[in-house]
Amino acid sequence: MSILDQIFVFHPDSWKDRDWKSLSGLPLEEVWFTAADGAKLFGWYVEGRATNGVILWCHGNAGNIINRLENLKLLYQSGLSVFLFDYRGYGRSQGRPSEEGLYQDALGAYDYLTRTRMIRPERLVLFGRSLGAAVAGELAVQKPAAGLILESAFPSIEAVAKFHYGGLPVHWLLGADFSLIDRLPQLSLPKLMIHGDRDDIIPLELGRQVFEAAKPPKFFYLIEGADHNNTYQVGGAAYFQRWAEFVQTVIRS
């Protein structure tokens, strides 16, 4: 990982020891597992209603899983089981982040769910937000799943860099690519894409490019008034209802 990657791409937070299970009111199960290349990683699993789908959540580039507890609770309350894990170098997970490393981490999370918990791919929905959308997209290329949810997604690091730096090719200086747009044409599984119309980090036009690059079946869900980090808060009940409809459709198809 280059210094520029640390500045522009990866922003991990270290772990804070708290009784997160009691503080969140969630039945958090602590999970230690290994990435495909052997890195030791940490995550939380919450078991929802058995008839519903299981979400494998690849989060964004900043913070760690602690920062997703509010969102995790709302997904759990909607009846879903969720496995939320930290990439290498984030939270309690060991190592240093890199593009290839994050892909290996997602493969390890998938193997944990399908091999250790014996969850069939037909019940598994991959979810990636922001940078995690590219990670979930790569995972979907390599492994079967019932569906794919991409939120606040971008076509590539190059596209984001050009947007924010007036077309200057600053992406040449970065070691990371995260080219989701190159993976989407390979994916035939159902896809739900979510974006806020006030996102100033990954603007809506980049989210539209991601949607246009994807092959059907695909669905676009626009959240009016939402920025990059508050889609689920602004979206409210309608947001989680759209989630539930998509998950139930794909796991029953």
Q: Which residues are catalytic?
A: 130, 199, 228
| CA–CA distance, 106 with 9 (Å, rounded to integer) | 17
Closest to 201 measured CA to CA, from 181, 235, 230: 230
Token pair of 216, please? 């059907």
Q: What dihedral do alpha carbons 94, 117, 136, 229 form, nearest 10°?
A: -80
Token pair of 166, please? 């007036």
Token pair of 227, please? 């920025």
| CA–CA distance, 226 with 116 (Å, rounded to integer) | 37
| CA–CA distance, 179 with 162 (Å, rounded to integer) | 14
Token pair of 235, please? 């979206």
Beta-carbon neighbour count of residue 111 at 10 Å?
A: 15
Pinpoint the alpha helices (H) of the chain: 3-8, 20-24, 69-77, 99-111, 131-142, 157-164, 180-183, 204-213, 231-252
